Amino acid sequence: MPLSAARPSRVQHTDEAVRGRDIQRATIVAIITNATLSVAQVAIGLFANAFSLVADAAHTLSDLVTDLLVLLAGRRGADPADTNHPYGHGRIETATTMLLGGVLAAVGIGFLWSSGLRLQNMGAQPGLHPAALVMALLTLAAKEGLFRFTLAAARRLNAPMLEANAWHARSDAASSLVVAAGIGGSLAGYPFLEPLAAAVVGFLILHMGLRLAWKAVRELIDTGLSEEELARIRQTIEQTPGVIGLHDMRTRRMADRVLCDAHVQVAPRLTVSEGHRVSDAVYLRVRSAHPEVQDVLVHIDPEDDGDLQTVPPGPLPERDEVVAMVHALLGTDAVEPKRIQIHYLGNRVDVEVLLPAALPPDSESALQRRRQAWLAEHAHYRSISFYGQSAP
């Protein structure tokens, strides 16, 4: 009968805890940076009569909210599996990534909208103090540095949620660039530069937000790996000793991890223990060759159950029925069989019976006649074989 095998990772909890702490550290750096910048932007913006700088400070404050979301998700996403979440909490990262993608898309639309309004009211800009331009340039440098720091951490930790937050920092850097261009253009006598730059940045941010949100949606609806990734995992399984076939392999993502299950075909008359050993080998090889795979569910098949050879003649007998049949064929005076092995193959039943010793010739002939008569009357039995043990 088929076996299913799955092994919990012994080091997964430790790795996830370290990864979660690294995500939190990167996010705390972003929180401190955004808090400092927002206070400075408000102060300089009010002093320099730069309302665009004050608006950019409000945008920076919105980053604090998303940073807190990332911090919370990083802590919860690293929690180990429990009764209610047997696969862990990785989808918290996915949901947060989708939320941040939506925020980026909204910010992009906001830039497009504001740029249109500014183009219609280009003569209504107040006089600015040069300190506003200095603050805008400092903000731009800080935001760009924060973007590069967070993006590097996201790629090192393979954290899409952190990558989304990095691009959110880039969107803030873009807004600071827009503010700097607008302030510089106003000081130089070219006020139209700000709305044009805002439109370009708006398109870029909108595209990035939609891309990240769509990636999260694909994960939430259990989209499988690419054909190239599937081919690599399939090759690893097929090269495992004892595997003679593979079918019905499925995969899905959960944050940075991959869950996989596959039907593995082995020789049809392997023992249960040997089939279990093959499943263990498949599990260990896949986990070793593909570190992104968190878990592998291996279903052992003695044949390709997607293409059974014959139409079943009816319900196949269960083990207790087969055992009763063997005792009936042997007779009431026969010795107890040492082992009865049943093979369900091709919608038929093969039975192998090991006796403590060979039967006398007369008893063996009588048993063969009863066996042949039984096979002729019961189509769901393909063969019944009796063997006598010759050595202990």
Single residue among 163, 189, 221 that ends a domain in this structure: 221
| Same domain for 236 and 200 | no
Averaged over 177-198, what is the pLDDT? 71
Tell me: the pLDDT tens digits for 119-159?
677 666 555 678 878 888 898 898 888 888 888 888 888 77
| Same domain for 30 and 67 | yes
Kindly indicate the confidence band of residue 326, based on its pLDDT and cuts at 50, 70 and 90: very high
Tell me: the pLDDT tens digits for 335-369?
889 999 999 888 889 999 999 888 888 888 989 99
**Per-chain mean pLDDT for the chain:** 78
Averaged over 378-392, what is the pLDDT? 85
Q: Would you state the pLDDT for residue 2?
A: 46
Distance of alpha carbon 16 from alpha carbon 281, whole angstroms: 24
Distance of alpha carbon 318 from alpha carbon 304, whole angstroms: 21
Question: Does 31 fall in a domain?
Answer: yes
Single residue among 221, 249, 282 that ends a domain in this structure: 221
CA nearest 66: which of 91, 92, 42, 30? 30
Tell me: the pLDDT tens digits for 153-167?
888 887 776 787 787
Kindly indicate the confidence band of residue 70, based on its pLDDT and cuts at 50, 70 and 90: low
| Higher pLDDT, residue 16 or 281 | 281
Q: What angle do CA 303, 249, 347 make, to 5 degrees?
A: 20
Distance of alpha carbon 353 from alpha carbon 384, whole angstroms: 8
| Same domain for 30 and 167 | yes
Q: Does the pLDDT of residue 107 top 50, yes or no?
A: yes
DSSP H stretches of helix in the chain: 12-47, 51-77, 91-120, 130-157, 160-188, 193-220, 227-238, 272-289, 319-330, 361-377
- Residues in Cβ contact with 257 at an 8 Å cutoff, skipping those fewer than 6 apart: 88, 90, 292, 293, 294
| Same domain for 278 and 135 | no
- From residue 290, alpha-carbon distances to 6, 232, 256 in Å are 16, 9, 12
- How many domains are there within the chain? 3
CA nearest 78: which of 165, 27, 8, 18? 18
Averaged over 51-61, what is the pLDDT? 65
Q: Would you state the pLDDT for residue 392?
A: 66
| Same domain for 294 and 249 | yes
Range of the domain at 243: 227-301
| Higher pLDDT, residue 365 or 14 | 365
Q: Would you state the pLDDT for residue 162?
A: 76
Distance of alpha carbon 381 from alpha carbon 349, whole angstroms: 5
Question: Does 2 fall in a domain?
Answer: no
CA nearest 77: which of 142, 8, 12, 173? 12
| Same domain for 207 and 145 | yes
| Same domain for 293 and 195 | no
Distance of alpha carbon 40 from alpha carbon 36, whole angstroms: 6
Look at the chain and count its residues. 392
Distance of alpha carbon 258 from alpha carbon 253, whole angstroms: 5
Q: Does the pLDDT of residue 170 top 90, yes or no?
A: no
How many angstroms from the chain centroid is the CA of residue 124?
52
Question: Does 9 fall in a domain?
Answer: no
| Same domain for 329 and 273 | no
Question: Does 106 fall in a domain?
Answer: yes
| Same domain for 145 and 64 | yes
Q: Which residue has the tokens 């039967």?
A: 359
Q: Would you state the pLDDT for residue 8?
A: 47
Tell me: the pLDDT tens digits for 222-260?
777 888 888 999 999 999 999 998 988 888 887 667 889
Question: Does 306 fall in a domain?
Answer: no
Q: Would you state the pLDDT for residue 108?
A: 75
Cβ atoms of residues 183 and 53 within 8 Å? yes
| Higher pLDDT, residue 309 or 391 | 391
| Higher pLDDT, residue 104 or 50 | 104
Question: Does 341 fall in a domain?
Answer: yes
| Same domain for 156 and 37 | yes
What percent of the chain shows pLDDT beyond 70?
74
Q: Does the pLDDT of residue 86 top 90, yes or no?
A: no
| Same domain for 171 and 68 | yes
- Residues in Cβ contact with 83 at an 8 Å cutoff, skipping those fewer than 6 apart: none
Question: Does 198 fall in a domain?
Answer: yes
Q: Which residue has the tokens 């049943």?
A: 342
Single residue among 221, 242, 276 that ends a domain in this structure: 221
Question: Does 82 fall in a domain?
Answer: no
Distance of alpha carbon 106 from alpha carbon 327, whole angstroms: 76
CATH code: domain of residue 98: 1.20.1510
| Same domain for 382 and 242 | no
Distance of alpha carbon 355 from alpha carbon 365, whole angstroms: 15
| Higher pLDDT, residue 279 or 305 | 279
Q: Would you state the pLDDT for residue 68?
A: 64
Kindly indicate the confidence band of residue 10, based on its pLDDT and cuts at 50, 70 and 90: very low
CATH code: domain of residue 360: 3.30.70.1350
- Listing DSSP states for 316-335 in one string gives PPPHHHHHHHHHHHH-TTSP
Kindly indicate the confidence band of residue 71, based on its pLDDT and cuts at 50, 70 and 90: low
- Residues in Cβ contact with 364 at an 8 Å cutoff, skipping those fewer than 6 apart: 358
Which DSSP category does 189 fall into?
T
Tell me: the pLDDT tens digits for 283-313?
999 998 898 887 888 999 887 655 555 566 6
| Higher pLDDT, residue 175 or 240 | 240
What percent of the chain shows pLDDT beyond 90?
17
